[in-house]
Amino acid sequence: MNDSVSPDVMLAMHRTMVRIRAFETRVSELFLDGKLPGFVHTYIGEEAIAAGVCAALRADDYITSTHRGHGHAIAKGMGLNELMAELYGKATGVCGGYGGSMHVADFSLGMLGANGIVGGGFGIAAGAALSARYRQSSQVAVCFFGDGGINKGTFHEALNFAALHKLPAVFVCENNQYAQFTAASRTTSVDDVATRAGGYGIPGKTLDGNDALVVHQAALAAGKRARDGFGPTLLNMVTYRHGGHYVGDAEVYRERDEVETWRQRDPIPHLEAAIVAAGAAPASDLAQVTAAAQAEVARAEQFAEESPWPDDSHALANVFTEAP
Amino acid sequence: MTEKRMTFGQATVDAMGHAMREDNRVIVLGEDISWGGNFGQFRGLVDEFGHDRVIDMPISEAAIMSVAVGAAVTGLRPVASMSFVEFTLGAMDEIVNQASKFRYMFGGQVSVPLVLRASDGVLRSSGAQHSESLEGLFTHIPGLKVVAPSNSADAKGLLRAAIDDDDPVVYLENKKITAKRGPVATEDYRTPLGVAEIRRPGTDVTIVAYSVMALHAETAAEQLATEHGIAAEVVDLRSLVPLDFATVAGSVARTRHAVVAHEAWTFGGYGAEIAAQLSEELWGDLAAPVARVGARQAPIPFSPPLERAVVPQVDEIVTAVLRTLEGAS
């Protein structure tokens, strides 16, 4: 079925994944060097999901994101400069430095925010979907969440509501198998979280979240179903964090062998092999994409470094909407 | 101007009708609302505006609030209803972590134009989980506006202004006064947020109150006048955030005595903020410490005599005023 993904889409997804990887790799280094305030949760290893899903969306579709949100932001079109500057807390950041890593958002891209509260996006996505339907805009709202989020009460409340009203929403579980430090087997009552869709009378599918082509096709089908008025789908995308919960996590809770096994199943080489096999591009072109992404990240870093800090006289701006 | 006597609830239905007729982005969602809501605050709306705009929600408070947030940031102006203010506690993450923070945390990219309505206060032994006044939880949070009208005319005007407002507004309607009738202009109007009203002028002491306590304060002022010859000024805040401190301070500067009254717990309550600001701003003018009247520090009990022992009414305001004037220098 993978032949139905066009070469252009394959290459676009690849470029997105490589840009996310390059960005997150440099962000990890910058954090460990003490350049970034706060703390960061990187998306390394999970890139196929954001890239595959967002490639299936319209520019005006909505996404809600998580504390691990840089990948979603990049995949939805956020520039690396304003994303990096936000991580630095600079005035040129996408949220002017008010948000930081866990709160990157760009509403003009339909990116309704990374969210520091696990499970915070379920209802917001449902609300965006309700709004889209009410406005007859034919937009879809995609909620990215983790396997930790699936045990929040908001999962139940929002999926029940979205299913009841057949809202144009897609719920994408980025199942990296760990809720912070704790394995899903110790926190979740079912092995296959897609079965929970049955409780809401909606389709649920478990998929290889490290295969961008599989992710993309599932997202296209779920997006079409949502747009056509048939309601939400739960997609359980199985994947793995190459790093810890956050950069600097001592990772005492995962076996080395397990980590190594999953690193071998890296989604980027996997897609590259498919691209080469399909004749969409030669390997040398793909290496150039990686080099270009690294150069783009270096420019973003320089942009952030050289950007001004926010003016501290603006610390109380935007608590409320100013009168016009 | 034509005027009708309306209950508090009828006045808010009137405000909703005006808002929904003028702006089709206004939707309302909550429990039981197509049946009119617990206190008739939504009666008839579904007949005029249909189920697409008057949305019956499951008993899923977190979903009510988060769906409202999602709708608000994507072009609608939702009014979310919780039957009792205690039910908002099941949506506190959505209220505090999402609605109040979206504008600031995302650098001013987006406004969150929603209204959260909830019924609060004591009504005939409703018990510990249906009797509270939790405004202090909301006023403490930057990014939330909070209003608590005391009468039908303000109920209509403040709700209309809250719906117009681009920020999240918590609109608290006290259960005891929901059925109370008062004159209301039938045309569309707004009562601006952040403007207090002097309900009764006086020269000896200022009673600062809101919601049902503003009515109790007026009764107390009448009693103080006839029984003690004391002229109490009653300031009805109407809006807690933004606070019209200028009106409060102006009154207290004249009377030099202040009593702050609310049905919520005294300890850590909103009245403590008013008392503190008065102390900071008017220390030299005050003839006595600012007195507070509020509920005693216990969950609201069920049995009528116990409930009365915890929740203040007119008598407590009168006593506080007398004590304040007695202790005055």
CA distances from A54 to A59, A102, A240, B46, B217 (A): 9, 19, 19, 38, 59
The reported pLDDT for the residue numbered A132 is 98
| A130 contacts on B by Cβ (under 8 Å) | 55, 67, 70-71
Yes or no: say if B312 and B261 are a contact pair by the CB < 8 Å rule. Answer: yes
The alpha-carbon gap from A77 to the nearest alpha carbon of chain B, in Å, equals 16
- Decide: helix, strand or coil at residue B29: strand
Put simply, whether A288 touches B (Cβ < 8 Å) is no
Is the Cβ pair B52, A96 closer than 8 Å?
A: no
On average, the pLDDT of chain B sits at 96
The reported pLDDT for the residue numbered A59 is 98
Is B61 among the catalytic positions?
Answer: yes
Neighbouring-strand partners of residue B1: none
The alpha-carbon gap from A111 to the nearest alpha carbon of chain B, in Å, equals 11
Yes or no: say if A216 and A209 are a contact pair by the CB < 8 Å rule. Answer: no
| A120 contacts on B by Cβ (under 8 Å) | 66, 93-94, 97-98
Quick check: bond before A7 cis, omega within 30?
A: no
Residues 52-81 of chain A with CB under 8 A from chain B are 62, 64
Is 0.90 surpassed by the pTM of this model?
Answer: yes
Is the Cβ pair B109, A132 closer than 8 Å?
A: no
Length in residues, chain A: 324
The reported pLDDT for the residue numbered A180 is 84
Is the Cβ pair A122, B67 closer than 8 Å?
A: no
If you search the block for the tokens 């793995």, which residue do you land on?
A240
| Intervals of chain B under pLDDT 50 | 329
From the candidates B18, B130, B257, B262, give the one annotated as an active-site residue: B130
Question: pLDDT (tens digit, 9 = 90+) per residue, B6-24?
Answer: 999 999 999 999 999 999 9
CA Rg, chain B, in Å?
Answer: 20
Rounded Cα distance between A102 and A47, Å, is: 17
Strands B239-241 and B181-185: unpaired
Is the Cβ pair B66, A112 closer than 8 Å?
A: no
The alpha-carbon gap from B221 to the nearest alpha carbon of chain A, in Å, equals 36
Q: List per-residue pLDDT tens for chain A, 324 residues long.
A: 445 899 999 999 999 999 999 999 999 999 999 999 998 999 999 999 999 999 999 999 999 999 999 999 999 999 999 999 999 999 999 999 999 999 999 999 999 999 999 999 999 999 999 999 999 999 999 999 999 999 999 999 999 999 999 999 999 999 998 888 888 888 999 999 999 999 999 999 999 999 999 999 999 999 999 999 999 999 999 999 988 888 888 888 888 898 899 999 999 999 999 999 999 999 999 999 999 999 999 999 999 999 999 999 999 999 999 876
Is the Cβ pair B68, A120 closer than 8 Å?
A: no
Q: Minimal CA–CA distance to A275: which of A26, A24, A51?
A: A51
Q: Minimal CA–CA distance to A205: which of A163, A236, A250?
A: A236
Put simply, whether A232 touches B (Cβ < 8 Å) is no
Number of neighbours of residue B194 by Cβ within 10 angstroms: 18
**If phi over 0 gives left and psi between -120 and 50 gives alpha, with beta otherwise, what is residue B298?**
beta
Of B27, B104, B110, the CB nearest to A98: B104
At A16, list the tokens: 């997105």
The alpha-carbon gap from B40 to the nearest alpha carbon of chain A, in Å, equals 24
Residues 17-56 of chain B with CB under 8 A from chain A are 27, 52-53, 55
Tell me the residue type at A179: A
CA A71, distance to chain mean position in Å, is 5
Is B130 among the catalytic positions?
Answer: yes
| B162 contacts on A by Cβ (under 8 Å) | none
The reported pLDDT for the residue numbered B11 is 96
Is the Cβ pair B67, A158 closer than 8 Å?
A: yes
The alpha-carbon gap from A287 to the nearest alpha carbon of chain B, in Å, equals 35
Neighbouring-strand partners of residue B30: B56, B81
The reported pLDDT for the residue numbered B327 is 64
Q: Minimal CA–CA distance to B209: which of B134, B281, B262, B163?
A: B262
| B166 contacts on A by Cβ (under 8 Å) | 321
Neighbouring-strand partners of residue A63: A111, A142
The reported pLDDT for the residue numbered A1 is 45
The reported pLDDT for the residue numbered B252 is 98
The reported pLDDT for the residue numbered A3 is 55
The reported pLDDT for the residue numbered B41 is 86
If you write DSSP's letter for every residue of A89-118 in order, what string do you get? T-TTSTTTTSS-GGG--BGGGTB----SST
Q: Minimal CA–CA distance to B79: which of B173, B168, B179?
A: B168
